[in-house]
């Protein structure tokens, strides 16, 4: 990943084990404070109630507090409130959402931004979403589909206590569009085999070219077929 992630979680940072649950949902938040106050709070001995995996700052810097393998304390719900969630995925899965979510805080104050990100912040957040998706695939062989079912906001988990997190102007659409564009090739939109190409690309069996094209009509070389066979055999 282009942007470096600075790991700043310490012995006071709250987290717990996922008890075998695979993380498969990315949840976006607004930090309601500055980068400094967020880092202070998530590493403070006084904080015994909350944390997040990542923080994306207005200047594009990315910080990490909790490993993806562990659960952060950011999307917790009382069991009786799970049915009030807006996200069907959360509603239908009757367990603490912290168990299967990965949280990203975005530096900002709802009162002044309504969730809008700076350009650098948006680019870093897109990179971080891609990093998380790749990390989860490499670690668990789990594909997080790039859509609004799997990339959600805190308000969809907890519409009662967190209706403004991360805010109406949070750029879900832009993030999803950009990840898809970068992931899935510039020249397959109207190709008859698009579905199959995406299927194989999502499973990393076939890749595109460095310019993000797939060149679906190009002949394949012996080298390329050897590479594809190896990807299949090695899984």
154 forms part of the interface with Zn ion (CB under 5 A): yes
157 binds Zn ion (CB under 5 A): no
Contacts for 98 with CB less than 8 Å, ≥ 6 apart: 16, 71, 72, 73, 74, 75, 76
Bond into 166 cis (ω within 30) = yes
Nearer to Zn ion, 132 or 197 (CB): 132
* Segment interacting with Zn ion (CB under 5 A) among 146-154, 174-182, 188-196, 207-215: 146-154
Query: Rounded to the nearest whole angstrom, what is the least distance from the CB of residue 94 to Zn ion in the complex?
Result: 21
Of 39, 165, 179, 188, the residue at the interface with Zn ion (CB under 5 A) is 165
Count how many residues are written for the chain.
235
Rule CB under 5 A: say whether 106 interacts with Zn ion.
no
Minimum CB–partner distance for residue 110 and Zn ion (Å): 10
CA 61 to each of CA 7, 35, 48, 102, 225: distance values in angstroms, whole numbers, following the listed order: 11, 9, 25, 18, 40
Q: Give yes or no for residue 175 binding Zn ion (CB under 5 A).
A: no
Shorter beta-carbon distance to Zn ion: residue 51 or 214: 51
Instruction: Kindly list the strands in the beta sheet with 54-56, ordered across the sheet, starting from the edge strand earlier in the chain.
Output: 5-7, 62-64, 54-56, 101-106, 25-30, 151-153
Sites for Zn ion among residues 182-221 (CB under 5 A): none
Site for Zn ion in 11-70 (CB under 5 A): 29
Q: CB under 5 A: which stretch of 7-15, 126-134, 147-155, 220-228 binds Zn ion?
A: 147-155
The radius of gyration of the chain's CA atoms, rounded to the nearest angstrom, is 19
In whole angstroms, give the CA distance from residue 230 to residue 235: 8
CB of 167 to Zn ion, least distance (A): 10
The smaller minimum CB distance to Zn ion, of residues 55 and 165, is found at 165
Quote the least distance from Cβ 6 to Zn ion, whole Å: 21
Q: Please, what is the minimum distance in Å from the beta carbon of residue 29 to Zn ion?
A: 3
Binding site for Zn ion (CB under 5 A): 29, 154, 165
């Amino acid at each position: 990943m282009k942007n470096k992630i600075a790991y700043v979680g310490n012995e006071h940072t709250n987290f717990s084990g996922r008890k075998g649950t695979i993380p498969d949902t990315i949840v976006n938040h607004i930090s309601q404070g500055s980068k400094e106050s967020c880092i202070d709070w998530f590493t403070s001995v006084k904080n015994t109630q909350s944390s997040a995996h990542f923080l994306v700052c207005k200047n594009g810097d990315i910080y990490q507090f909790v490993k993806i393998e562990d659960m952060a304390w950011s999307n917790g719900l009382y069991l009786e409130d799970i049915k009030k969630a807006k996200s069907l995925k959360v509603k239908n899965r009757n367990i603490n959402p912290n168990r299967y979510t990965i949280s990203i805080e975005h530096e900002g104050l709802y009162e002044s931004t309504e969730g809008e990100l700076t350009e650098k912040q948006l680019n870093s957040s897109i990179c971080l979403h891609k990093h998380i998706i790749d990390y989860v695939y490499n670690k668990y062989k789990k594909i997080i589909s790039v859509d609004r079912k799997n990339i959600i906001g805190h308000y969809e988990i907890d519409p009662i206590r967190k209706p403004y997190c991360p805010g109406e102007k949070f750029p879900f659409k832009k993030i999803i569009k950009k990840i898809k564009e970068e992931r899935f090739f510039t020249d397959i939109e109207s190709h008859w085999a698009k579905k199959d190409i995406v299927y194989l690309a999502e499973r990393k069996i076939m890749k595109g070219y460095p310019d993000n094209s797939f060149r679906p009509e190009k002949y394949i070389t012996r080298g390329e077929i050897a590479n594809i066979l190896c990807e299949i055999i090695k899984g």
